[in-house]
Amino acid sequence: MSAITAMILIVVLVIVLGLLLMLQRHRTLPKTLSAEDKSLAHVRWHEVREQLKRGGPAHLRQSVITADNLVDHCLKALGIPGDTMGERLKAAGRARFSDYDGLWSAHKTRNRIVHEADKELLSFETKSALDKFERALKDLGAL
């Protein structure tokens, strides 16, 4: 067997093994959320809605932060890899969400709230972010 044939065979084997490992990893990720995670999502989503109803800057900020945390919890529960929510969103990919860009926008709103101490949300900004988080939670099967 020539050196070129041996190299081609090794490359093919590496590719096949890589595909098999990816397939195995994909099979081990949960496809749906557990009943416990769904129940938690409903309870927390009710809390988000209550914070929104209370109004006021602190409650509006907290509703967005809580909603963002809830989406992140669901991503983790589904076994989506990543050290941060941003990494998990990228790993989950566009195909999982009906409004991927909207979810990113809502997550960026959360980041502005957390990193800019003087950031005050207007009611419509909060409502828009929460609508996007709710859509994502439905896409994930949490609501």
User: What's the token pair of residue 67?
Assistant: 């909603």
| Contacts with 107 (C-beta within 8 Å, 6 or more apart), sequence order | 68, 71, 85, 86, 89
Check residue 13 and give its pLDDT: 80
> In the chain, helix, strand, coil percent, each to 5?
80, 0, 20
Q: Identify residue 20 by its one-letter amino acid code.
A: L
**pLDDT at res. 31:** 80
- Lookup: tokens for 77: 């529960």
Report the SS3 class of residue 33: coil
Per-residue pLDDT of the chain (143 residues; tens, 9 = 90+): 787 887 787 878 888 777 766 665 554 455 889 999 999 999 999 999 999 999 899 999 999 999 999 999 999 999 999 999 999 999 999 999 999 999 999 999 999 999 987 888 888 999 999 999 999 999 999 99
Q: Write down the pLDDT at residue 10.
A: 82
Question: Residue 80, exposed/middle/buried by CB under 10 A (0-12, 13-18, 19+)?
Answer: buried
Overall residue count recorded for the chain in this entry: 143
C-alpha to C-alpha distance for 100 and 90, rounded to whole angstroms: 10
Q: Alpha-carbon distance 80 to 1, whole Å?
A: 43
Cα 27 from chain centre? 19
The predicted pLDDT at position 21 comes to 67
pTM of the model: 0.79
